[in-house]
A and B are shown apart, each in its own frame.
Chain A
Amino acid sequence: MRINPNITSDVLSSIYATQQQENTALQELSTGKRVNVPSDDPLAASLMVGNQDQTSRNDQYLQNVDSLNNQMQTADTALASVVAALNQAISLGVQGSTGTISSSQRQQIAQSLQGIQAQIVQLANTEIGGVYLFGGTTSTTTPYEIDSSSASGVQYNGNLGTNQVEVADGLTVQTNLPGSQLFQNANGDVFGSLQQLINALQTGTASDAATATNAVRDAYNSITENRIFYGNVENQLNSTQTFLNQEKVNLSSQENTLVGADITKAATDLTQATTAHDAALAAAAKILPTSLLNYLATPTT
């Protein structure tokens, strides 16, 4: 049978083919990726769009958690100081309720209480990054101002709005309690009771002061109770963080499954391709120069 006497193109195409295999394996090894352009695996490339979106979203959730944690901690610290201040106000109120102290002493205690009132107003105006934590959603106007004309001695400029932030897919947390709910609710009114106590000490009787002290105690209990909200959010954020970090690992492993190169396989492929390439070259070198002419005697002259 006659075969194609011009084997150069066959030889070349097999050399190209083995070279191509070498390149592919080398590229997989050097990039660590099996899919470098969409046509390498269209489906995986398309799924990677979702994967990168989810990964980036996950990273953003982690940032949200960090930034919220910061807000929660600041709020919690501020409330701890409010609690301490109220505690002090209660001791002062108890002192002021005893019938044995002099009027000037009562005035002194009232003055100290006014200091505490100012301190609590300042704490209630705690801000972070220009945002007031206890002003509802009017977070740019100072929530509390001293207002002697008001019964509670203060004026609330905030609103009842609350914000929700998404910290994981489908999981939102409430990030604030409006000041009016936190400091002045049915169970206790921080500012109202303080003002009541101050008024009682300045102009009222010892029993008035005792009543007012009890009101401050109620406010103390109420705020201690409400403070738990921030602790809960912090706990929720911490467990979300753990979940998000786990999710990050999952997404990265999914990415690896989708487009990552199997390094062991790529290395084996490279060795195989190199061997095949060498063999193709060696065979070409052996076959190409051979022809009948090699064996014919040179015509004598």
Chain B
Amino acid sequence: MPGLSTSMNIAVQALMADQGALDITSNNIANVNTPGYSRELAVFQEGPPVVEGNVAYGSGVTLAQFQSVRDQLLQLRIYEESGQQSNSQAQLSALNQIQTDFADPSQGVGGALTAFFDSLSQLSTNPTDSSARQQVLTAANSLASAFHQSELALQQVQQQMDQMVPQTVTQINQLTTQIAQLNAQVAEMQGLGQDPGTTQDQRDQLVQQLSQLVNVSVTQSDHGITITTGNGVPLVVAGQNFALQSGAATNGLQGVFAQGQDITSQIQGGTLGGSIQVRDTVIPNLMSQLDTLASQFTASFNSANQAGFDLSGNAGGNFFTPLTSVSGAATSFGVAITDPSQIAASSDGTSGSNGNVTNMLAVRDQQLPEGVTPTQAYANLVLAVGNYGATAQANVTASGASLQQLTDQRGAISGVSLDEESTNMIQYQRAYEAAARVVTTVDAMYSTLLSVGVTK
């Protein structure tokens, strides 16, 4: 048979539960702007009923647990998409630097090629004119600097990307160390049956940062999460992290190593993947196009110059320095002659002949061994730069949009709503007031009871 003290106890429990719930609300409100915070819910549970005869009496309420609201699958999608996003972003910013050097068609190698051939065309109207000859030589030197400059611009970006590798690897190792620690804590709390909400939030936030650096695959296990790179190289297993190393690889660039194994080429996503992709695929491809053009143009033009005779009637020699290897040709590209009279404009050895200028000008419209004219080869290079840039831009936009959507979904599930918290606050406040009223009422009842039989 329940008594007044039972009612009092129930009311006190209710007061405690409501106060605890208000704590949660307060904590939610406090963390409304904390990145990665998942809102928590107060889970009330009614006390075990007291059965007496045929009647079961409720025994009040307890605050069973704080439960944080999260969707683990959504979180995994967010990791994936963040990796994509930062990968494309890294590529885009590198390509935007490269693009400016190829933006103006009248500048760079294209413009210099045009100016060079125009100067030859000018020379054809007056092959003995020393200023026209000087102009050809000047234009040839400008062409050489244009080749050097384009190659240098590509090299600079490549070096920047290369420097990113050890920096990013250091960041990755810092993050995996922290994640491993938090992972152990989460596992411990879960083992004790506690909700590891806050710790989990922190860990998730760090995993998201990690996924921006490198593509990771996250799997849940009994001992917390296991993080591997996209290709299965372990980064975090339970409470242990496996550090990556960076160092010079066989190609002289910075490589990424896991337990001594070179995994550079396997890294795809994140800033690290983006930098490596630009460094090892995009830039080498552009450089090879530039080198091929420099090398084939040199050979083609030299043979045209050799077909003629210079101003003194000597057979023409190499106009440009002959290049021995295609790789690095744009850097070694140079003008071999120093005296304008060495331009072999004449076809028969007489000084006034312009017959061989025709052969030189023909190089402009002749296909190089790669199957295109020099100007087309450069146009193809611009096309490649543009396509890389446009693809990176499109990827940034696309992954940005889907990341936004995923973040919205995550927010819809885990985000703190001030309206909701305000409502809860009122609800808990009213419940608290009501429970307090019960206490007052019970107190009044005690007074009534205690005053029975007391004479005034």
Q: Which residues of A contact B (CB under 8 A)?
A: 1-6, 9-10, 13, 36-43, 45-53, 56-57, 59-61, 63-64, 67-68, 71, 129-132, 135-140, 159, 161, 163-166, 172, 175, 291-293, 296
Q: Which chain A residue shows the least CB distance to B98?
A: A38
Q: Which residue of A lies closest to B106 (CB)?
A: A52
How far apart are the CA atoms of A202 and B422 in the complex, in Å?
131
Are A39 and B105 interface neighbours, CB within 8 A? no
B99 touching A64, Cβ below 8 Å: no
B123-164 contact mask (Cβ, 8 Å, vs A): 1 or 0 = 011111100000000000000000000000000000000000
Q: Is the CB of A38 within 8 A of B358?
A: no
- Distance in angstroms between the alpha carbons of A179 and B106 in the assembled complex: 42
Set of chain B residues within 8 Å of A63, measured between Cβ atoms: 122
Which A residue's beta carbon lies closest to that of B416?
A5
B415:A129 contact, CB within 8 angstroms:
no
State in angstroms the CA–CA spacing of A67 and B129 once bound together.
Answer: 12
In the complex, what distance in Å separates the CA atom of A65 from the CA atom of B184?
83
B409 and A4 contact, CB distance less than 8 A: yes
A39 in complex: contacting residue of B95, B118, B127, CB < 8 Å: B95
**Beyond the given A5-B415, A39-B390, could you list 5 further A-B residue pairs with CB under 8 A, ordered by the A residue number?**
A4-B415, A37-B103, A163-B127, A291-B419, A292-B418
In the assembled complex, 23 residue pairs joining A and B whose CB atoms fall closer than 8 Å, in A order, are: A36-B103, A38-B103, A39-B95, A39-B386, A39-B387, A39-B389, A40-B386, A42-B382, A42-B386, A42-B387, A42-B389, A42-B390, A43-B383, A45-B103, A45-B382, A53-B114, A56-B115, A57-B118, A68-B125, A137-B348, A137-B353, A137-B354, A138-B350
Q: Which residues of A contact B102 (CB under 8 A)?
A: 38, 45
Query: What chain A residues lie within 8 Å of B355 (beta carbons)?
Result: 137, 163-164
B100 surroundings in chain A (CB, below 8 A) = 37
Tell which of B126, B350, B390, B392 touches A136, judged by Cβ atoms closer than 8 Å.
Answer: B350
Closest to A175 in B: B125
What residues of chain B lie closer than 8 Å to A52, measured between beta carbons?
Answer: 105-106, 110-111, 114
Are B121 and A161 in contact, CB atoms less than 8 angstroms apart? no
Check: B398 CB closer than 8 A to any chain A CB.
no
Q: Is the interface of B mostly helix, strand, loop or mixed?
A: helix
Given contacts A36-B103, A38-B389, A50-B375, contact A139 B352 (CB under 8 A): yes
A64 contact set on B, CB distance < 8 A:
121-122, 124-125
In the complex, what residue of chain B is closest to A49 when comparing beta carbons? B379
Q: Which residues of the partner chain B approach A291 to less than 8 Å between Cβ atoms?
A: 418-419, 422
**B411 and A49: CB pair below 8 A?**
no
B351 within 8 A of A: yes
Among B99, B115, B126, B127, find the residue whose CB has the most chain A CB atoms closer than 10 A.
B126
Using Cβ atoms and an 8 Å threshold, which residues of chain A touch B404?
A: 9-10, 13
In the complex, which residue of chain B has the Cβ closest to the Cβ of A44?
A: B386
Closest 9 pairs (CB-CB, A-B): A42-B386, A39-B389, A139-B352, A38-B386, A4-B411, A5-B417, A46-B383, A49-B379, A137-B353
B352 proximity list for chain A (CB < 8 A): 131-132, 135-140, 161, 163
B96 within 8 Å of A (CB atoms):
yes
B 34-61 contacts with A by CB, 8 A: none
Docked Cα-Cα span, A50 to B372, in Å, equals 12
- Residues of the A chain whose Cβ atoms lie less than 8 Å from the Cβ of B305: none
Residue of A53, A57, A161 most packed against chain B (CB within 10 A): A53
| Inter-chain contact B114/A39, CB cutoff 8 Å | no
Within 8 A of A (CB), among B406-423: 407-413, 415-420, 422-423
Contact partners of A159 in chain B: CB under 8 A:
350
Cβ-based interface call for B288 (8 A): no
Interchain CB contact under 8 A, A49 and B122: no
Residue B393 at the A interface, CB < 8 A?
yes
A60 to B121, CA, bound (A): 7
The answer to whether A56 and B411 touch across the interface, beta carbons within 8 angstroms, is no
User: Could you tell me the distance between the alpha carbons of A13 and B387 in the complex, rounded to whole angstroms?
Assistant: 26
Residues of B within 8 A of A (CB): 32, 95-96, 99-100, 102-103, 105-106, 110-111, 113-115, 117-118, 121-122, 124-129, 346, 348, 350-355, 358, 361, 375-376, 378-380, 382-383, 385-390, 392-393, 400, 404, 407-413, 415-420, 422-423, 426
Q: Which of A2, A50, A137, A293 contacts B379 (CB 8 A)?
A: A50
* Complex CA–CA separation, A166 to B393 (angstroms): 44
How far, in angstroms, from A159 to B355 measured CA to CA in the complex?
14
- A46 x B415 contact (CB < 8 A): no
Chain A hits for B129, CB < 8 A: 129-131
CA distance A224 to B115 in the complex (A): 41
Interface pair B416/A166, CB less than 8 Å apart:
no
Which A residues lie within 8 Å of B121 (CB)?
A: 57, 60-61, 64, 166
B351–A56 contact, CB under 8 A?
Answer: no
Residue of A nearest to B107 (CB): A52
- A166-B95 contact, Cβ under 8 Å, with A37-B389, A56-B114: no
Contact of A38 among B99, B126, B346, B410 (CB under 8 A): B99
**A46 pairs with B106, CB closer than 8 A:** no
Q: Which residues of A contact B400 (CB under 8 A)?
A: 13
A166 and B358 form a contact (CB under 8 A): yes
Given known contacts A47-B379, A137-B346, A6 and B415 CB-to-CB distance under 8 angstroms: yes
Q: Which of A42, A50, A139, A172 contacts B351 (CB 8 A)?
A: A139
Q: Which B residues are in CB contact (< 8 Å) with A42? A: 382-383, 385-387, 389-390
State the CA gap A135–B351 with chains docked (Å): 11
Q: What separation, in Å, do the CA atoms of A165 and B99 have in the docked complex?
A: 38
CA separation between A43 and B383, bound complex, in Å? 6
Closest chain A CB from B213 CB (angstroms): 21
Give the residues in chain A near B389, CB-CB below 8 Å. 37-39, 42
Chain A hits for B125, CB < 8 A: 64, 67-68, 71, 165, 175
Contact of A9 among B386, B407, B417 (CB under 8 A): B407
Kindly state the separation between the CA atoms of A293 and B417 in the bound complex, as whole angstroms: 11
**Which listed residue, A49, A60, A293, touches B382 by the CB 8 Å rule?**
A49
What residues on B are CB-neighbors of A172 within 8 Å? 358
| A2, A4, A45: most-surrounded residue (chain B CB, <10 A) | A45
**Which residues of chain B come closer than 8 Å to A67, judged between CB atoms?**
125-126
Say yes or no: B380 contacts A46, CB within 8 Å: yes
Question: Closest B-chain residue to A13, C-beta based?
Answer: B404
Q: Bound state CA distance, A73 and B124, in angstroms? A: 18
Cα A6 to Cα B38 with chains together (Å): 12
Chain B residues near A38 (CB-CB < 8 A): 99, 102-103, 382-383, 385-386, 389
The interface residues of chain A lying within 8 Å CB-to-CB of B115 are: 56
**In the complex, A43→B384 CA distance in Å?**
9
